[in-house]
Structure 1
Amino acid sequence: MNRIIKNVAILALIPLGFSSCKDSKVEDEDAKVEMQMRGEEANDTNNDIAQRGAENEVTFNEEKTAEIFKYYKEVKDALVAAETETAAKHAQKLSEKSQGEVLAAANKIASASDINVQREAFSELTSAMEPILDGALTSGEIYKQYCPMAFEGKGDYWYSNSKEIRNPYFGDKMLKCGRVEETLN
């Protein structure tokens, strides 16, 4: 008799287990829909993609650093707008003003015609920019921003002189995905 009660109890609990899995799938679908809605919201305002938001005026202790940051931002903005040719053009200008790791990453972006290759090289460019920007500002603020979903959930950073998130790794698909991680001033 106890064995029958145990079997009935187990059989009664099985649908609850499936229900929990189903609920989890529904939550996953809800999250996907929410992300798509964010992307659709961004698509509603195409000008919003190229808009740089409320940029802070920044000045640097060296003119060369100012030029490098200017072209870095232009590459970032082109990637946000998914404009591969524009990104390549600005990366070419950046490579003319830079050396070392910045030069190598800029050359990769300039020579690539695939947006995903450019975005991977932009990750390298951002890493190479950190020592250049560290301690280089004389006024204003630069924001180190982070997207946790970039590169299949590994996450990655970029720099901006606007607090508004404009994601170079996803562009209009997830324009505002990210957060400010650090403020350089």
Structure 2
Amino acid sequence: MKTVLFSLLAVGTFALTSCKENKEQKSTTETSMKHDMSTMSDSAAMGNMATDKEITVTEAKKSSADLTELYSHYTHLTFALSGDDDKEAVSAAKGILASFPKIDKNGFSDEQKKEFADLESSISEHAEHIADNAGNIDHQREHLDLMSVDFYDLLKDFGTPKPVYKVFCPMYNDKKGAFWLSDSREVKNPYYGKEMLSCGEVQEEIK
């Protein structure tokens, strides 16, 4: 009889222990599954964030401006000065001033609008000096030098309607040098005109 009781107790104890172990094992498995699902969810969310960020950067790069008319007046200005024609330089400078209000900036971000406004203000100031100085071609050339730096930044950041070449003249400004932008690799120096028309070399192509 005692043997039977001990056997029953042993079976009951074994059953309870097995049940407890099964519950603990099930609980551990469920916790592990929840952790894995949470990790997968977090990874997916981070992936979406990365994708969103990439899309934002791509869209920002696509925001450009149609600078065709504006740039055409700039090249008109360089041609005028390379031909020592101060009056034609006045006409080109006025064309630059008239072109800015026509440029559509609706696709720009706030940061781009600020950058464009700063460049527009600086270029316009130099264009006004050139337009107001017929008969003083040296002064016009000084402002072309400064204006070209702004035009370079404008085309690099907002796009160029065609391939543009950055041409450097090492002699201008007491041999400190200066550059201008051109549609062609052919050098026609606007800083010296006929005096040294072919002085300069292409440093960079902007596309």
- Please state which band the TM-score falls in when normalised by the shorter chain: 0.5 to 0.7
Give 1:19's aligned residue. Answer: none
Give 2:147's aligned residue. Answer: 125
**Residue type of the alignment partner of 1:105:** H
TM-score (norm 1): 0.64
**Residue type of the alignment partner of 1:75:** L
- The alignment covers a number of residue pairs equal to 124
- Overall identity of the aligned pairs, in %: 29
Q: Please, what is the CA RMSD of the aligned residues?
A: 1.4
Cα distance per residue 1:137-166 (max 9 Å; x no partner)? 466410000000011211000000100111
TM-superposed deviation, 1:136: 3.8
Gapped runs of 5+ residues in structure 1? Answer: 1-60
Measured in 1, the distance between the counterparts of 2:71 and 2:143 equals 16
Measured in 2, the distance between the counterparts of 1:170 and 1:144 equals 17
Measured in 2, the distance between the counterparts of 1:171 and 1:121 equals 15
Q: Which residues of 2 match residues 1-185 of structure 1 at below 5 A?
A: 61-63=64-66, 65-98=67-100, 99-113=120-134, 114-137=136-159, 140-185=162-207
**Residue type of the alignment partner of 1:93:** G
Partner of 1:85: helix, strand, or coil? helix
Q: Do 2:68 and 2:161's aligned partners in 1 also have CA atoms closer than 8 Å?
A: no
Work out which structure has the larger RCO, using CA pairs closer than 8 Å and 6 or more positions apart in sequence.
1
Q: Do 2:75 and 2:182's aligned partners in 1 also have CA atoms closer than 8 Å?
A: yes
Gapped runs of 5+ residues in structure 2? Answer: 1-63, 101-119
TM-superposed deviation, 1:135: 4.4
Partner of 1:79: helix, strand, or coil? helix
Q: Do 2:76 and 2:92's aligned partners in 1 also have CA atoms closer than 8 Å?
A: yes
Measured in 2, the distance between the counterparts of 1:133 and 1:75 equals 17
CA gap 1:115/1:152 in 2 versus in 1, 3 angstroms? same
**Residue type of the alignment partner of 2:89:** A
From the two aligned structures, give the one with the greater helix fraction: 2
Measured in 2, the distance between the counterparts of 1:109 and 1:176 equals 23
Measured in 1, the distance between the counterparts of 2:160 and 2:123 equals 22
- Show structure 1 runs of 4+ deviating over 2 A: 135-140
CA gap 1:151/1:138 in 2 versus in 1, 3 angstroms? closer
